[in-house]
Structure 1
Amino acid sequence: MDFGRIGNPSRGQGELSGMKHDRYAIRRSRLVSAVKKAGVDALLVSHPQNVTYLTGFTGDSSHLLVGPGRTLMISDSRFDTQLNEECPDIERAVRTAKIQQIDFLAKVLQEQKLRRIGFEADYLSFATHAELTSKLNGVELAPQTKLVETLRQVKDSNEVEAIRRAVRLAERGLTATLAAVLPEMTERQTAHDLEHTMRRFGALRAAFEPILGVGPHSALPHYRAGEHRLNESPFVLIDWGAVEPTGYHSDLTRVRGDSKIPPKLEKLHRVVMMA
């Protein structure tokens, strides 16, 4: 019975730019060094953002096994086309609908003949770990923390530019929104317009639910935009961000004055600027 397949991906879709895929190969190479230091044979990467960081694949329900001389994407047949487009250079094990995901994952890991496999303890659930352990024979699952996140702390030039794109999308969205906003609009209406405008300019979505706080509500941490109208106070706090097309986020905060700023607020602003 055909439960899945393991093999090299198809390369029949024309010549691909090597620069993009070299970037991911460099990241995986650095992870291999961290894996060796951690004393495991390979790392099972489960968190979707970490899989994307290491491969460029933006799908879900997939795992990546990385170790010395070994890079294997463990996915399913729904993502065949996407895998070919986003990470055509990576060997893959593809599950069919005839086998459950956990059973296929255990089968593939067993076939690798590894003795000690690290897993992302912050992301692999207790239930999944328990079930995998029960299905593996002679394989130790060793918890690891922040092996990929430590690499992600230092941004390469492509990431820096992506973050700048996310900032520009957010700033452009706010500028356009404020140019069209009406004093009688509510916090929630303005937040909805802001997110829609960022999407029109090319953002995937807002980086988080935009925070618009009128007057005293601007002091509330993680305030949810409500029904207060912009003209209820001379100022409004705006905390927002955008997600650019490759998934990087921005996070910005501004205070907008609708009329003359109260002297007390102006004094507080000077104190902050001098700090």
Structure 2
Amino acid sequence: MSTEYFQRRQHILIDKLAKESLDGMIVTNLIHIRYLCGFTGSSATLLITADQVHFITDGRYVVQSEKEVKGANVIIDSIPHYEVIKKHNLLTSNQNIGFDGNNVSHQGYQQISKVLANINLKNITGVVEKMAMSKDEKELEAIRTAVEITDKAFAEVLPMIKIGVEEKVIANQLSFLYRKYGDSDSDAFAAIVGTGPNSAKPHHKPTDRKIGPGELLVIDSGAKFAGYHADMTRSFATKGYSDEQKSIYDIVLDAQVKSIEGIKSGVSCKSIDSIARDHIANEGYSKFFDHGLGHSLGLEIHEDPRFSKVSEDILEENYVMTVEPGIYVPDIGGVRIEDDIIVTKNGAEILNKTSKEFQVIS
């Protein structure tokens, strides 16, 4: 991506800071730094002011920063980053500088206050996250690619999903295929594969448990491409499944379809969550659906806004959201069905192509 691409983001942030009477911001969250200048390494600080943008890192990243960092003056030094700001006189006395308290520990705040005692610090949270909610065309392209890789991997894994196969075998094969078809930064998160009683654990870690007859199976996984995440869940039943297991599947699928039908720009996230939650409650399973309906996707797997009972956010065009209702009943099993969607002016574009039809494994 070009220097101008990242400078546009930097200028938007500077304008937002000015409205808060701030002269600049110290950015320490590495995902936010990547969003603002393109750096993908594991140690950096970004200082943004109206006059200049400074990127600070150490000698491990000389070559990487030269290649990746856009729109910022690169400073390489071995001393703590706040000391670098002081050493190079990058800030003047009594400037009002913001920091994100969600990403600075109490100890970190004490360090900033001690080293940069001549400036006025202000905790300003969520400003970069709000900028990142609406995705531009390059971001949407990356997410589409991540979803396409996810679909392709699922299609290849599906024939190997049989009674007697271990959970971790499925998870490992998905990870391998993401790397085969994507880039080196290929797993959006550690795959969730749960069969039988494990399917009723929403964030189960795969084990050597084998798929058995008369069970439900949940597979939640996603690829990552150019830093952007996909996130898809499909559920299955095995030969010998019960009528209640099939009923649970149908209820979850109906809840998901109805929720997606309600999505469009200008609608509240809370109201979309209620569509699924009310449907599941009306079918008698309210206490078995106890997580939010979905979340945004981007450079992080879980971003704001969220579909939840307490959300105050309103959907806008080009938000990328997951829609993932679930029912988890101990001793019976769990079902979750999840797609990634792009919010449009009049609806939602479903990105995933993997079938959601009820499938029985033998």
TM above 0.5: yes
Partner of 1:48: 30
- Give the CA deviation at 1:144: 1.1
- In the alignment, which of 204, 220, 227 is matched to residue 223 of structure 1? 204
**Alignment partner, residue 118 of structure 1:** 98
Q: Give, in whole Å, the separation in 1 of the partners of 2:86 and 2:106.
A: 15
Contact 2:82 2:115 in 1 (8 A): no
Q: Which residue of 2 aligns with 1:71?
A: 53
- Distance in structure 1 (CA, Å) of the matches to 2:218 and 2:239: 14
Contact 2:198 2:204 in 1 (8 A): yes
CA distance in 1, matches of 2:195, 2:211: 6
Partner of 2:232: 252
Percent identical pairs in the alignment equals 27
Q: Once superposed, what is the RMSD of the aligned Cα atoms? A: 2.1
Equivalent residue number for residue 196 of structure 1: 176
Residues 88 and 264 of structure 1: CA distance in aligned 2, closer, same or farther (over 3 Å) = closer
Structure number with higher helix proportion:
1
Post-superposition Cα deviations, 1:131-174, rounded to whole Å, max 9, x if no partner, equal: 22112242122111011111001111111111111111112112
Query: Which runs of 4 or more aligned residues in structure 1 lie more than 4 Å from their structure 2 counterparts after TM superposition?
Result: none
- Any idea what SS the aligned residue of 2:2 has? helix
Q: Which amino acid aligns with 1:26?
A: R
Match of 2:20 among 13, 38, 41: 38
SS in 2 for 1:39: coil
Unaligned runs of 5+ in 2: 256-362
1:167 to 144, 147, 165: 147
Q: d(CA) in 2 for partners of 1:100 and 1:26?
A: 28
Give the residue type in structure 1 aligned to 2:146: A
Measured after TM superposition, the shift of residue 130 of structure 1 is 0.7
**Structure 2: how far apart are the matches of 1:255 and 1:274?**
14
The answer for the alignment partner of 1:29 in structure 2 is 11
Contact (CA 8 Å) 2:178, 2:186: kept in 1 or not? yes
* Contact residue 30 and residue 42 of structure 2 kept, 8 A: yes
Which one of the candidate residues 120, 123, 136 is aligned to 1:156? 136
Query: TM-score, length-normalised on structure 1?
Result: 0.84
TM-score by length of 2: 0.65
SS in structure 2 of the partner of residue 194 of structure 1? helix
Cα separation, 2, equivalents of 1:188 and 1:219: 17
**Aligned partners of 2:97 and 2:119 also within 8 Å:** yes
Is it true that 1:243 corresponds to 2:224 in the alignment?
yes
Matching of residues 130-145 of structure 1 within 5 Å: 130-145=110-125
Aligned length: 253
Structure (1 or 2) with the larger CA radius of gyration: 1
CA–CA separation in structure 2 for the residues paired with 1:52 and 1:89:
12
31-40 or 202-211, which deviates more: 202-211
Cα distance 1:273–1:173, how it changes in 2: closer, same or farther (>3 A)? Answer: closer
CA displacement at 1:215 relative to structure 2 = 2.2
Whole-angstrom distance in 1 between the partners of 2:125 and 2:70:
28
One-letter amino acid of the structure 1 residue matched with residue 92 of structure 2: K
